[in-house]
A and B are shown apart, each in its own frame.
Chain A
């Protein structure tokens, strides 16, 4: 530790860190559009320039290491003028349709223009003609709004290890492009939407299905049901200005009811259902010498990745549909029959932390005879927009509870929202299935937290099982390569596509960062700590579903409704 001087104030700095991180710790704000926590700086946007005494040019604080005795001015007239000019240059060929932009009021470029008092278009440049790429079921790309910060490229390549997009061309003709400038739907994009989370402008956004949902809500013929994923209740409050890590489960249910959904269900219920099927499948594979390690199948980005990059390993995937699809399937079968509603009159909406779920509902086998398990997926952000649009005073809502026949959920199902949660829930139930007893301590600390690859050894009766939990596709690839290389000690692997799991999915509130992920995870753990029913096999509504309709896990009806298959995918990768 040593001292540096910033704006005539002395602050502590640590050797090896950059000026920007030192400033951040001291709560001195310097704007940046390209900086990404945890990745090497690129110095692309130049907005973080500061004046350093004794040095000629302005210094990009994101990439300049601190050293003892530095005298820094973050808001000298020169630095401020340079930043303002950069913003004006970025705006020179930027569309000025902010009012109509999905990122209106949540755009970093707009914020900066406001902060730096840009009040006129001083510079004007020729605008390039671009077509908006709408081909992906999950992600819309609008090149005209791109400021070429490169964050989408970096998250795709360096975090997810996919590299579906990159800079193409040069100079004023530079664009972010897929290989051969093809449409996104034929690229190697896995639809995770991490690029949307990091995009500072409206250049990347989710494909919205809000209009379809509103049309269904206003159609008297339609019985409109909604399910919300385990992670939604611990993230959506942020969209209404709350700090991260607050659980608003009951209010969320009331909000959906007030909007006019006929039934409100919780995907955590079908997460319990997934556990019954998946734990049974795991036990079956272990006891009959089936393909191991078994890998989870809840995360559709991961599924597409393995289908396109490791098609020879799809038999490792659990055949279980994801909780979204399972609930969709039992809504249009069991629930429809029980309440005497024609499945074709049910419009099934799901609120997901994920834009790849929009892709998942279109997969083959996710429904039959033109009746789809789920009809529309909206993200956490879209759900918040819907709530605002219907004039609901979210902060003052009374608490509500999910509808029957899927009213109960356990904390195991709720844990699905974060990395390690599927594993923890599955272990609890697999342990019970094998030994007939509950685990002594239900909490499996080793699989919790944000670490990219977590491993644990679990003793179940006489059986010793090694398991691994992975989040982020870059980390999944590392593990797949180990298995390809002959590693054979693992029995079960949980993979979530997004770093941190669904609580940091591509459909979650923007500006998701490590601290927010931590408090969102904390909220899930708190639920697990404070509630009583913590294992999926004790969910009474699940029991009833099996008794009245499904029979038993892995039974014929389950197989038909709750399981699926995978395929090899040809993409430009």
Chain B
């Protein structure tokens, strides 16, 4: 499925030049979940760009990843409002609970963690988002409860499979 989708995207950008790079990376990441090394090399051939250049562009932006995300992708807002309301402590609590740092994925592939500049929900500060689901007014004490909720769902999903 995703292979076809990627082939389609690559076809769409055939003959493209360097200005196609960012939209192409975005579309690939939407399908793959991250930018694999193999795909970056393919993109390099397609747009006639050195992989080092693509790596440089992709590392400039927070949105691009070179490792697969976890099944639950946790985004912690570190924008101004969230910062004032104590998001640093929230981030700390999440890193401790998951035992990973921002930008990493845990060993089982369940959780990945990302720090974002602003989620655009300052009224709910401090806010975190898990797979797009927002949790408002989070304090460090809430973290185990929130994350365990996803762990339970994952166990159920596992049993249903």
Contact = CB atoms under 8 A, between A and B. Distances in A.
Given A163-B52, A165-B52, A166-B52, A179 B40 contact: yes
B37 interface: yes
Nearest to B41: A572
Given A179-B40, A572-B41, A188 B59 contact: no
B55 interface: yes
A326 interface: no
Interface residues of B, number: 16
Contacts of A167: 56, 60
A179 B66 contact: no
Interface in A157-196: 157, 162-170, 177-181, 187-188
A170 B52 contact: no
B59 A572 contact: no
Given A166-B55, A168-B55, A572-B41, A179 B50 contact: yes
B54 interface: yes
B59 A573 contact: no
A150 B92 CA distance: 36
Nearest to B49: A163
B53 A157 contact: yes
B114 to A, nearest CB: 15
Interface of chain A: mostly helix, strand, loop or mixed: mixed
Contacts of B39: none
Q: Select the residue from A164, A167, A187 with max chain B CB neighbours within 10 A.
A: A167
B51 A169 contact: no
Contacts of A162: 50
Contacts of B70: none
A166 B53 contact: yes
Contacts of A163: 49-50, 52-53
A181 B66 CA distance: 12
B86 interface: no
Contacts of B49: 163
B51 A572 contact: yes
A428 to B, nearest CB: 39
9 contacts: A157-B50, A157-B53, A163-B50, A164-B52, A177-B55, A180-B55, A188-B52, A573-B44, A573-B50
Contacts of A164: 50, 52
Contact of B50 (A166, A168, A170, A181): A166
Given A180-B37, A180-B66, A573 B51 contact: yes
Contacts of B52: 163-166, 177-179, 187-188, 572
Contacts of A178: 52, 55
Interface residues of A, number: 19
Given A179-B55, A572-B52, 7 more contacts: A162-B50, A163-B50, A168-B60, A177-B55, A178-B55, A179-B40, A181-B55
Interface of A: 157, 162-170, 177-181, 187-188, 572-573
Contacts of A166: 50, 52-53, 55-56
Nearest to B51: A179
Contacts of A169: 59-60
A420 to B, nearest CB: 29
Interface of B: 37, 40-41, 44, 49-56, 59-61, 66
A187 B53 CA distance: 12
A180 B53 contact: no
Contacts of B55: 166, 168, 177-181
A277 B40 CA distance: 43
Contacts of A573: 41, 44, 50-51
Contacts of B51: 179-180, 188, 572-573
Contacts of B56: 166-168, 177
A177 B54 CA distance: 11
A165 to B, nearest CB: 6
Nearest to A176: B56
Q: Select the residue from A163, A164, A169 with max chain B CB neighbours within 10 A.
A: A163
A474 B55 CA distance: 21
Contacts of B41: 572-573
Contacts of B54: 179
Nearest to B60: A170
A167 B41 CA distance: 18
Nearest to A170: B60
Nearest to A171: B60
A457 B59 CA distance: 49
A88 B59 CA distance: 28
A163 B41 CA distance: 13
A226 to B, nearest CB: 37
A169 B52 CA distance: 12
B50 A188 contact: yes
Q: Select the residue from B40, B49, B60 with max chain A CB neighbours within 10 A.
A: B60
Nearest to A181: B55
A167 B59 CA distance: 9
A187 B56 CA distance: 14
B40 A168 contact: no
A167 B53 CA distance: 8
Nearest to B50: A163
A308 to B, nearest CB: 12
Contacts of A180: 37, 40, 51, 55, 66
A169 B103 CA distance: 13
Contacts of B53: 157, 163, 166
B72 to A, nearest CB: 26
B153 to A, nearest CB: 34
A166 B44 CA distance: 14
The 7 closest A-B pairs by CB, nearest first: A163-B50, A166-B56, A179-B51, A179-B52, A168-B59, A166-B52, A179-B55
A180 B60 CA distance: 13
